[in-house]
């Protein structure tokens, strides 16, 4: 059993902020204090920064600990190779922690939410915190005007509905046509995708009338463009934000572990539905991000899930954001 998240909560809890030297924990504050740039408390965590005139807020839906990394990452590699790479990167080999980070982008005209976390299904295990995080960041769920779903795995669509009603009552929705068609199809019954199909019938299909179904290159709102990034799921899409000459890529689940998926992009991942296509997409997307030296937000990168990548001989090194957006 991994207790890392518990330790982190204790360390960074509201009490710890008072003990720290002024400025040392800047951006970490009690939710009630409604900190300007971010908060990390027992109940909510968010990080806000600007991309041009867009105000971008990454919100933690929570984290989940799992055992046996090799059963998820590098499944076509010897277990020793996975352990060696983790060890080399100062990570434990017995387990791993996955975070879930939906993103709110306030363009000034639209408040666009990317993905919705695990929702009600996650509450018992410490996730499903998106709505709390949105409030802590100074917004209300009713202020979200557009919800974009990058793909329809449960950790992305779980928060669409709350108590059988839309969790974002004023929103319209945007998602990939291919993704929706795949999961909605009754042909998924009796396949490994059956549970996903049922979840889509419950969470996504009731919202279909308010949904715009898009393809590669579509504009969501001015400055936000969809890019096809298939493989992790059949219609997985990523998004480019651009404002006043500044850009950022929302890579969603193109890479799911900041070491194992980025340093070894060709290693197979259990959650990638088309493993070869997912590997090829990882290379294409992170080659572009490395070449253009762009910041990106990866849904499963360590919170606040924002960083850069440096090209290495076999893959890419994740360079977490520090103060790049604060100056």
Which residues are at the interface with Zn ion (CB under 5 A)?
Answer: 155, 253
Q: Which residue, 49 or 114, has its beta carbon nearer to Zn ion?
A: 114
Number of C-beta neighbours around residue 165 at 10 A? 8
Q: Which residue, 171 or 255, has its beta carbon nearer to Zn ion?
A: 255
Q: Which residue, 54 or 100, has its beta carbon nearer to Zn ion?
A: 100
CB of 170 to Zn ion, least distance (A): 25
Note whether 232 and 272 are within 8 A (CB).
Answer: yes
CB of 72 to Zn ion, least distance (A): 12
CB of 293 to Zn ion, least distance (A): 26
Q: Of 263, 257, 319, 311, whose CA–CA distance to 73 is shortest?
A: 257
Note whether 130 and 158 are within 8 A (CB).
Answer: no
**How many Å apart are CA 131 and CA 61, to the nearest integer?**
8
Q: Which residue, 132 or 272, has its beta carbon nearer to Zn ion?
A: 272
Q: Longest C-alpha distance within the chain, in Å?
A: 59
Q: Which residue, 61 or 253, has its beta carbon nearer to Zn ion?
A: 253
Dihedral sign for Cα atoms in the order 104, 60, 274, 88:
positive
C-alpha 182, offset from chain centre = 21
CB of 313 to Zn ion, least distance (A): 28
CB of 86 to Zn ion, least distance (A): 20
Strand partners, 214: 176
Q: Which residue, 106 or 257, has its beta carbon nearer to Zn ion?
A: 257
CB of 151 to Zn ion, least distance (A): 8
Q: Which residue, 132 or 253, has its beta carbon nearer to Zn ion?
A: 253
Is residue 274 classed as helix, strand or coil in its secondary structure? coil
Note whether 117 and 159 are within 8 A (CB).
Answer: yes
For residue 191, give every residue at least 6 positions away whose Cβ sits within 8 Å of its Cβ, in sequence order, or none. none
Distances (CA, A) of 96 to 82, 124, 158, 250: 12, 19, 22, 23
CB of 299 to Zn ion, least distance (A): 5
HSE-CB at 15 with a 13 A cutoff on CA atoms is: 4
């Amino acid at each position: 059993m991994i207790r890392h998240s518990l330790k982190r909560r204790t360390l960074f809890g509201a009490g710890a902020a008072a003990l720290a030297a002024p400025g040392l924990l800047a951006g970490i504050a009690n939710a009630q204090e409604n900190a300007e740039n971010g908060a990390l408390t027992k109940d909510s965590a968010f990080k806000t920064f600007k991309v041009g005139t867009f105000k971008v807020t990454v919100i933690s839906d929570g984290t989940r600990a799992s055992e046996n990394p090799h059963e998820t990452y590098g499944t076509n590699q010897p277990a020793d190779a996975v352990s060696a790479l983790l060890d080399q990167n100062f990570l434990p080999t017995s387990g791993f922690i996955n975070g879930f980070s939906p993103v709110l982008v306030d363009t000034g005209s639209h408040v666009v939410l990317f993905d919705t976390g695990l929702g009600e299904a996650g509450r018992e295990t410490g996730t499903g915190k998106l709505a709390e995080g949105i409030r802590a960041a100074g917004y209300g769920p009713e202020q979200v005007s557009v919800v974009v779903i990058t793909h329809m795995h449960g950790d992305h669509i779980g928060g669409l509905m709350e108590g059988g009603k839309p969790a974002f009552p004023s929103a319209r929705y945007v998602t990939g046509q291919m993704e929706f068609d795949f999961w909605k199809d009754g042909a998924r019954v009796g396949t490994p995708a059956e549970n996903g199909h049922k979840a889509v019938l419950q969470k996504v299909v009731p919202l279909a009338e308010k949904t715009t179904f898009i393809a590669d290159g579509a504009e969501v709102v001015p400055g936000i463009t969809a890019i096809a990034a298939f493989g992790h799921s059949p219609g997985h899409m990523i998004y480019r934000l651009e404002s006043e000459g500044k850009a950022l890529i929302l890579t969603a689940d193109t890479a799911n572990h900041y070491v194992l998926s980025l340093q070894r992009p060709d290693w197979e991942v259990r959650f990638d539905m088309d493993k070869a296509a997912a590997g090829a997409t990882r290379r294409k997307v992170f080659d572009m991000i490395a070449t253009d030296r762009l910041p990106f937000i990866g849904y499963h990168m360590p919170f606040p899930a924002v960083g850069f990548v440096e090209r290495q001989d076999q893959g890419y090194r994740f360079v977490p954001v520090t103060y790049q957006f604060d100056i």
